Amino acid sequence: MFIPHTDKERQAMLRTIGKDSIKDLFADIPESKRFPVLDLPEGISEMEAYKQMSMLASANNSCDEMISFLGAGAYHHYIPAAVDLLLLRGDFFTAYTPYQPEISQGTLQAIFEFQSLIANLTGMEVSNASHYDGATAAAETCISSYYHFRKKRANIIISPFIHPHYIETIKTYLQAIKEIEIRIPDISKPVDFKDSIRQLVDKNTALVMVQYPDFLGNILDYSSVSSFVHENGALFATVVYPMALGILKSPADMDADFIIGEGQSLGLPLNFGGPYLGFFTTRRELIRKISGRIVGETEDEDGKRGYVLTLTAREQHIRRGKATSNICTNQGLNALAVSIYLSLLGKKGLKEVAYQCYQKAHYTASQIERINGYKVLNEQDFFNEFVIQCPSDVMEIQNNLLEKGIIAGYNLESDYPTRKNQLLIAATEQNTREDIDFFVNSLREVTIV
């Protein structure tokens, strides 16, 4: 399949090489291991493959067929048709990494614009070309901070209200650097979370990382934490849900040194969790310390504006064993999708979507609070996600709602054992009033108090 050679051409090529058969090209391979049997099916036609894959897809119930209030790091936003249709241009998706800038200006300028849009949205000075996802961007932030202080500061303090997968990923990434200690404030005791972060900061702290809005949806002002961290000479990072920045103040106003996060909400389909995109922004003075590809503007020999990969001396193909990250891609096509999405929505559109997310979540919350036994637990204002306390077994509630075609949010107990029967509920612009009312009424019906 997809091999153009005719018998005649094959024979002519073998004659040029001076071999009788293709098999003769594999003489370097140990004979006892050569040409193993593959216990796999025969190939099928495109038509059959299409049908087989469609069958598999139809074994799912997608968010199109159900009413979903799931968020927890991945959000079901509407993606304008133009985004995907532009991505399908072969000039974009069948190109490689832009190592040859003269014939890659499309990709390079698109990345430059991605960096610009993200830097403007977050209010930060510089952005890189992206990491794999929000979790790995968070892990790379920890590593960059450790090396920024030349390994002299080895404590990294992470809020327990960062996405649990991000915390797990950070632990995985840092497991081999023995010197680093990851500290997570103990939330089993009822102390103010900002105070508990302050208690852990000392002269050995490299980085403090929080999330905005946090995993439970709360919008916190971290200004005081940030200044305390800076007084102690450490760096301050915030994981951000970028859609929220359509209306909310950016943590750049709280003097964050890094703003990173998951770019999925900006034009990428849910895709069962990937591929997404980790955006990564920082202050200009830290640019040489961060990992990941960066595009810069320059000129060609005739003085014409153009773009190139820059500061490559940080990267693995130059620094090899001295590089602090091995990343050698960005999420190219997904960064392009984000650029197209943000260009289409623009100033007005993004504000509108963010506003609707906020309003729909608040409407949902206020309606749920009216049900006997339910309570919204957020003490701060929230953006589009909030926690409810259910009066009875949450798995039973979820199962009963699933039968009605509703995915009723994310059960928090697996990540926070003390949070029994609590659901994290997210709403986006795609949840209609009808959906929300049906959800709330169904919740009332399935709850036996």
Partner 1 sequence: MSEPTVYELSSEGRFSITFPTLDIPETKIPDDLLREDVPLPELSELDVIRHFTNLSRLNYSIDEGFYPLGSCTMKYNPRINEVTARNHGFANTHPFQPVETIQGNLAVMYILQEWLKEITGFVAASLQPAAGAQGEFVGSLMINAYHKSRNDNHRTNILIPDSAHGTNPATSNMSGFDIVNIPTDNRGNINLSALTEVCNKSTAGLMLTNPNTLGLFEENVLEINDIIHKAGGLVYGDGANLNALLGIVKPGELGFDIMHINLHKTFSTPHGGGGPGSGPVVVAKHLADFLPEPIVGIIEEGDDEIPPLYGFIYPKKSIGRMKSFHGHFSIIVRALTYLLMQGKDGLLEVSNHAVLNANYLMSLLKEDYTLPFDRICMHEFVLEGVWKDIEGIHALDIAKRLMDYGFHPPTNYFPLNVKEALMIEPTETESKQTLDRFVNAMLSIAKEAHETPDLLTKAPHNTPVKRLDEVKAAKDLILCCRVSDKRE
Residues 24-63 interacting with partner 1 (rule: CB under 8 A): 25-30, 33-36, 38-46, 48-50, 52-63
What part of residues 100-119 is at the interface with partner 1 (CB under 8 A)?
100-107, 109-110, 112-113, 115-117, 119
What part of residues 353-392 is at the interface with partner 1 (CB under 8 A)?
353, 355-356, 358-360, 362-363, 366, 381
CA distances to 23, 28, 36, 194, 373 from 32, in Å: 14, 12, 9, 64, 70
What part of residues 71-90 is at the interface with partner 1 (CB under 8 A)?
72-74, 76, 78, 80, 82, 84, 86, 88-90
Q: Compute how many residues bind partner 1; rule: CB under 8 A.
A: 203
Q: Is 154 in the site for partner 1 (CB under 8 A)?
A: no
What part of residues 188-217 is at the interface with partner 1 (CB under 8 A)?
none
User: 11 is written with which tokens?
Assistant: 């024979």
Q: Is 13 in the site for partner 1 (CB under 8 A)?
A: yes
Q: Which of 352, 396, 413, 415 binds partner 1 (CB under 8 A)?
A: 352
- Which residues, other chains included, contact 314 with Cβ-Cβ below 8 Å and sequence gap of 6+? 288, 290, 291, 323, 324
Closer CB to partner 1, 199 or 441, in the complex = 441
Closer CB to partner 1, 185 or 409, in the complex = 409
Minimum distance between the CB of residue 54 and partner 1, rounded to whole angstroms? 6
Could you tell me how many residues make up the chain? 449
Kindly write down the DSSP assignment for every residue of 328-395, as one continuous string: ----HHHHHHHHHHHHHHHHHHHHHHHHHHHHHHHHHHHHHHTSTT-EE--SS-BSSEEEEE-SS-HH
User: 101 is written with which tokens?
Assistant: 């800038």
User: 211 is written with which tokens?
Assistant: 């999330």
- Residues 389-392: contacts with CB within 8 Å, 24+ apart? 389/421, 389/422, 390/421, 390/422, 390/423, 390/447, 391/421, 391/447, 391/449, 392/421, 392/447, 392/448, 392/449
Q: Which of 276, 279, 374, 386 binds partner 1 (CB under 8 A)?
A: 276
Minimum distance between the CB of residue 147 and partner 1, rounded to whole angstroms? 11
Minimum distance between the CB of residue 113 and partner 1, rounded to whole angstroms? 5
Select from 191, 219, 224 the least CA-distant residue to 208.
Answer: 224
Minimum distance between the CB of residue 59 and partner 1, rounded to whole angstroms? 3
User: 187 is written with which tokens?
Assistant: 């939330």
Task: Please choose, out of 231-239, 274-282, 386-394, 441-449, the segment that lies near partner 1 by the rule CB under 8 A.
Answer: 274-282
Q: Is 143 in the site for partner 1 (CB under 8 A)?
A: yes
Q: Which of 121, 229, 235, 394 binds partner 1 (CB under 8 A)?
A: 121
Minimum distance between the CB of residue 131 and partner 1, rounded to whole angstroms? 9
- Which residues, other chains included, contact 393 with Cβ-Cβ below 8 Å and sequence gap of 6+? 421
User: 141 is written with which tokens?
Assistant: 């932030």
Q: Which of 141, 145, 155, 325 binds partner 1 (CB under 8 A)?
A: 325
H or E stretch including 137? helix 134-148
The three-state secondary structure class of 260 is strand
Nearest 5°: the CA angle 275, 105, 312 is: 70
Q: Is 406 in the site for partner 1 (CB under 8 A)?
A: no
Q: Is 342 in the site for partner 1 (CB under 8 A)?
A: yes
Distance between CA atoms of 44 and 305, rounded to whole angstroms? Answer: 48
Minimum distance between the CB of residue 358 and partner 1, rounded to whole angstroms? 6
Q: Is 343 in the site for partner 1 (CB under 8 A)?
A: yes
Closer CB to partner 1, 293 or 419, in the complex = 293
Q: Which of 142, 162, 290, 308 binds partner 1 (CB under 8 A)?
A: 308
Q: Which of 145, 205, 265, 331 binds partner 1 (CB under 8 A)?
A: 331
Q: Is 144 in the site for partner 1 (CB under 8 A)?
A: no
Phi, psi for 216 (deg, rounded to 5) = -90, 5
- Check if the beta carbon of residue 67 is closer than 8 Å to that of residue 408: no
Task: Please choose, out of 128-136, 191-199, 201-209, 438-446, the segment that lies near partner 1 by the rule CB under 8 A.
Answer: 128-136
Distance of CA 391 to the CA centre of its chain: 33
Kindly write down the DSSP assignment for every residue of 143-184, as one continuous string: HHHHHHTTTS--EEEE-TTS-HHHHHHHHHHHTT-TT-EEE-
Closer CB to partner 1, 155 or 264, in the complex = 264
What part of residues 212-271 is at the interface with partner 1 (CB under 8 A)?
219, 221, 245-250, 253, 262, 269-271
